[in-house]
Each structure stands twice: as structure tokens, then as C-alpha cells.
Amino acid sequence: MGGKTLTSTNPTDTYSIPTSTVPSNAVAIMSNVTVTNTTAWTFITVWPDNLTTETITSDVNWTGANQTVANADNITLPPIGSTNQGKINLTNAFGSTNLILDVYGYYA
């Protein structure tokens, strides 16, 4: 996933991990979450799509505008066989930022 913009008026995006990248039996992914073109201090939360509310931990934090910050992250995926299998949510708290998600491994 590259170049997605998350704003305070459109803070959450659901992303489906392609099965060409991660097999359908994966239970979690290893990824790098990068923010760039930030407009304010804020944070990104990444969470499995099967949860009804987002997790209370942040995955990437930054302190102001015009920053590029990356963080390695292990992300749990929804259960195998569920309707939201392979989907994750990414949420921005304040301002806007471009978001890049690089998946470099998985747990099966």
C-alpha cells in the first residue's frame, strides 16, 4: 500500500493484504509503517478489521508537520476463514498524513 492519505475527516482506511504477498493461512504480518507529508503531531493505529473498536496502542508517533517517520510493526490479522480475513484498519488521530505500508513477512 503506498501513498494513501489519511485526514482528520477521513481518518480510517481498511486495507486488504493481497494473497500474492501473504498466504491465506497467515495469522499476522511483519510490516514497516511510514508516514510522510504530515500536517500536525499525531499517531497512527493499526488494528485487525475483525475488532469492533480500534486498539489503544499507537504504531507510529510523530511530533509535528513536514515529517517522515517509520516504524516496524507486527500486525495480527483477523481469523482464518472470517469474512474480514486479511484485512487491517489504519487510523490517523489528527491532521493529515500520507501513509506507506510495506509488508516484508508473515506468521502462519
- Starting at the earlier edge strand, list the strands of the sheet with 97-107: 4-6, 97-107, 28-36, 69-76
Containing structural domain, residue 32: 4-107
Dihedral (CA of 67, 75, 48, 107) sign: positive
Task: Please count the structural domains in the chain.
Answer: 1
pLDDT band at 59 (very low <50, low <70, confident <90, very high): very high
Residues 43, 46, 48: CA angle, nearest 5 degrees: 160
pLDDT in tens, 80-98: 889 889 999 999 989 999 9
pLDDT in tens, 11-53: 888 888 888 889 989 999 999 999 999 999 999 999 999 887 7
pLDDT at 32: 95
Its pTM stands at 0.87
CATH code: domain of residue 36 = 2.60.120
